């Protein structure tokens, strides 16, 4: 729908493996369009309440999940060492994530929002959102010992859409109709992690609902919280 620069660099940062459900189709769109798509998880997901096994066994399973997701979506994934369920929002952690932004130098950044509801409102998710948004500023600084140059280019930042805080001026709908098969494969990989939650039915219903707003079969939705250049999400 838009004439855009290619290739774009897309960076998504979330707390745990499987957090990216809301943008699986969006990331796949960009990968198929030849963009450089990187996803970073702050934790290894070792404290999952649904994946069977102790923390070390869970880490192994989660790593296998991540490797499969890389193949399905056609992206690159990096995992950091923040403690699962103990992510703290502080300046030190924001500087750590700023190094990730400096490293990948995105045109587009996607992360969590401040959900308060149970499930999506996991404390790690809210803290991830705050950490990443602060890191956008800290990435502009010259930091002693940093392996990367400051990143001062202008780029757009998107967060997950919170329907309880609806603002139609910032909501962006992405047509992911062609990614349905990949999204279903994605859900199958994470089936154990999602537990008893009817994730496929929920995801398909959500995408169908959002698709009606823009006249497509299935859509994902994000909120634009910082618009600083002309390089935007691929909308179809």
State the pLDDT at residue 43. Answer: 97
User: What pTM did the predictor assign?
Assistant: 0.93
- The HSE-up count of residue 128 (CA atoms within 13 Å, CB side) is 30
State the pLDDT at residue 3. Answer: 37
State the pLDDT at residue 1. Answer: 32
Query: Is 1 within the bounds of a domain?
Result: no
Query: Is 2 within the bounds of a domain?
Result: no
Bridging pattern class, strands 108-111 and 9-14: parallel
Query: Is 4 within the bounds of a domain?
Result: no
CB atoms within 10 A of CB 120: 17
What's the whole-number mean pLDDT along residues 14-35?
97
Q: What is the pLDDT of residues 176-211, one digit of tens each?
A: 999 999 999 999 999 988 888 899 999 999 999 999
- Give me the CATH number covering residue 46: 3.40.50.10320
Contacts 24+ apart (CB under 8 A), 119-123: 119/197, 120/160, 122/15, 122/85, 123/85, 123/87
Q: What is the pLDDT of residues 42-84, one digit of tens each?
A: 999 998 877 878 888 889 999 999 999 999 999 999 999 999 9
Q: What is the pLDDT of residues 133-172, one digit of tens each?
A: 999 999 999 998 899 999 999 899 999 998 877 566 689 9
Query: Is 231 within the bounds of a domain?
Result: no
State the pLDDT at residue 160. Answer: 94
State the pLDDT at residue 41. Answer: 98
State the pLDDT at residue 114. Answer: 87
Are 222 and 161 contacting, i.e. CB atoms less than 8 angstroms apart? yes
Query: Is 21 within the bounds of a domain?
Result: yes
Counting the structural domains of the chain, the total is 1
Are 170 and 225 contacting, i.e. CB atoms less than 8 angstroms apart? yes
Full residue range of the structural domain in which residue 89 is found: 9-226
Query: Is 41 within the bounds of a domain?
Result: yes
Query: Is 179 within the bounds of a domain?
Result: yes
Query: Is 236 within the bounds of a domain?
Result: no
State the pLDDT at residue 51. Answer: 80
């Amino acid at each position: 729908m838009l004439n855009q620069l290619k290739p774009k660099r897309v960076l998504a940062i979330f707390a745990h493996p499987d957090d990216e459900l809301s943008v699986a189709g969006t990331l796949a769109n960009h990968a198929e369009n030849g963009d450089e798509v990187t996803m970073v998880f702050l934790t290894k997901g070792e404290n999952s309440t649904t994946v069977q096994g102790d923390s070390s066994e869970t880490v192994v399973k989660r790593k296998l999940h991540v490797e499969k997701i890389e193949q399905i979506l056609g992206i690159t994934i990096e995992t950091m060492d923040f403690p699962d369920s103990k992510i703290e929002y502080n300046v030190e952690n924001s500087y750590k994530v700023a190094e990730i932004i400096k490293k990948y130098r995105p045109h587009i950044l996607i992360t969590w929002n401040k959900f308060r509801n149970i499930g999506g409102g996991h404390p790690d998710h809210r803290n991830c959102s705050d950490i990443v948004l602060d890191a956008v500023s800290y990435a502009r600084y010259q930091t002693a010992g940093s392996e990367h140059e400051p990143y001062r280019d202008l780029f757009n930042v998107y967060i997950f859409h919170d329907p309880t805080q609806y603002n139609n001026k910032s909501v962006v709908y992405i047509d992911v109709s062609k990614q349905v098969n990949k999204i279903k494969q994605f859900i199958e990989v994470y089936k154990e992690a999602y537990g008893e939650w009817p994730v496929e039915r929920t995801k398909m219903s959500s995408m169908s609902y959002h698709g009606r707003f823009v006249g497509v079969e299935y859509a994902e939705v994000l909120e634009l919280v910082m618009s600083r250049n002309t390089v935007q999400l691929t909308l179809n």
